[in-house]
Amino acid sequence: MPSEKNTIVRIKDIALKAKVSTGTVDRVIHNRGRVAEDVKERVLKILKELNYEPNLMARMLGSKKQYVFAALLPDHAFDAFWLAPKLGIEKAERDLKQYGVRVEQYVFNPHDPQDYVKKAIKLTKMQPDGVLLSPIYYNETLPFFKKWNEAKIPFVLFNTQIADYDPLSYIGQDSYQSGLVAAKLVHYGQANPCSILIAHIDEEINNAQHLVKKEQGFRNYFIQNNLSHHYNILRVELNRSSQSGFIKKLDEIIESTVDLRQIFVTTSQAYDIAKYLEQRHIKNIRLIGYDLIPPNLYYLERGDISFLINQNPKGQGYWGINQLAEHIVFKREVPILKYLPLDIVTAENLNYFIDEKDDAFVDI
């Protein structure tokens, strides 16, 4: 075992031992070139030997470098879900401010691919040091991935995953696993055979992949646990654009399925079903959904929604910016995939997941 030096190793120490100047060591550390090959190797060796770790404070102090990240995300005026990621991004910005990091937000209308592209172009023009985005339009996104790759601008994805052009990392949920969780809850609360409805309530087709995975996880739970013969699992795709169509379709299902006891809503629109059940005075059907948005919370607290699975939207924003900073500012390795916890939320533990406290994100 090499002796554990208690004292901090500085560039000056390295320079001394390598019989060069601090400038040379600096050039080696940052690969700035202009240093002889043999010297470089010697310094590199000593760097390892002494286990040099840069003093981040000093580094940030000494460098007047400013970093600008760009965040491309949907306007929460159109869908309340997107407020939380925005807050997370802003929290991260506050945390990283002292390291010279600034975040510029580019908000787009999630119903308008044109706007998405427009904002993406604007963003690219700014030449940010890194990009965080929720790429809800696949085809529209790919060209930008290519551009950013060529410009060597790292980008991090959140909430929606696209594997092409290897992003720096993806932050989000494990949709399949969340389906398993939902199924477990359904199964736990439903001992007797019955029918179960999987409801996909799409506003857009954006997150189709997610919904498929959620359904797969949900169904596989019953298969893996040899419960398929106990439960009759139905599925429906609902569209809120036509209020009457929405109700009509539900009416049909309810009438034709007398033993329907549970509905699993794969999107954040569980409140729509809750409202429907309320209007129809149906009390013996339980609901599980996603996302802690206000209308869902209303029905959760009334007991009309049993559970909500929290997708940690604030954390997605926070960690997204954080990953960028880790990579770009601190030059550390970052995991390609960062799955956030699948929180099971009831009226009883709700407080801990919606509170305004800023520090609910820290990964310990």
Partner DNA sequence: TTGTATGCGTTATCAT
Partner DNA sequence: ATGATAACGCATACAA
Q: Single out the residue of 11, 15, 72, 92 in contact with its own copies (rule: CB under 8 A).
A: 92
Q: What is the DSSP string of 308-322?
A: EEE--HHHHHHHHHH
Q: Single out the residue of 1, 3, 6, 30 in contact with DNA (rule: CB under 7 A).
A: 30
- How far apart CA 63 and CA 217 sit, in angstroms, is 49
Q: Report what 343 binds from DNA, its own copies, none; CB cut-off 5-8 Å by kind.
A: its own copies
Task: Please state the closest distance from residue 291 (CB atom) to its own copies, in A.
Answer: 16
Query: Which of 287, 244, 285, 255 is CA-nearest to residue 269?
Result: 287
Q: Single out the residue of 29, 142, 212, 234 in contact with DNA (rule: CB under 7 A).
A: 29
Instruction: Select from 66-74, 177-185, 202-210, 268-276 the region that touches its own copies (CB under 8 A).
Output: 177-185
- Is 346 among the residues that bind its own copies (CB under 8 A)? yes
Q: Single out the residue of 24, 141, 195, 316 in contact with DNA (rule: CB under 7 A).
A: 24
Sheet with strand 307-310: strands edge to edge: 231-239, 194-202, 260-265, 286-290, 307-310, 343-345
Binding track, positions 126-165, relative to its own copies; x by CB under 8 A: ----------------------------------------
- How far apart CA 282 and CA 277 sit, in angstroms, is 5
Taking CA atoms, 242 is separated from 109, 179, 249, 272, in Å, by: 21, 27, 11, 13
Sign of the dihedral defined by the CA atoms of residues 26, 31, 36, 42, in that order:
positive
- Is 348 among the residues that bind its own copies (CB under 8 A)? yes
Q: Single out the residue of 12, 21, 58, 337 in contact with its own copies (rule: CB under 8 A).
A: 58
- Is 264 among the residues that bind its own copies (CB under 8 A)? no
| C-beta separation of 9 from 51 below 8 A | yes
- How far apart CA 159 and CA 173 sit, in angstroms, is 7
Q: Single out the residue of 41, 45, 51, 54 in contact with DNA (rule: CB under 7 A).
A: 54
Q: How does DSSP classify residue 195? A: E
- Is 33 among the residues that bind DNA (CB under 7 A)? yes
Q: Single out the residue of 33, 188, 205, 283 in contact with its own copies (rule: CB under 8 A).
A: 188
Footprint on this chain of DNA (rule: CB under 7 A): 8, 10-12, 19-24, 26-27, 29-30, 33-36, 39-40, 52, 54-55, 58-59, 61-65
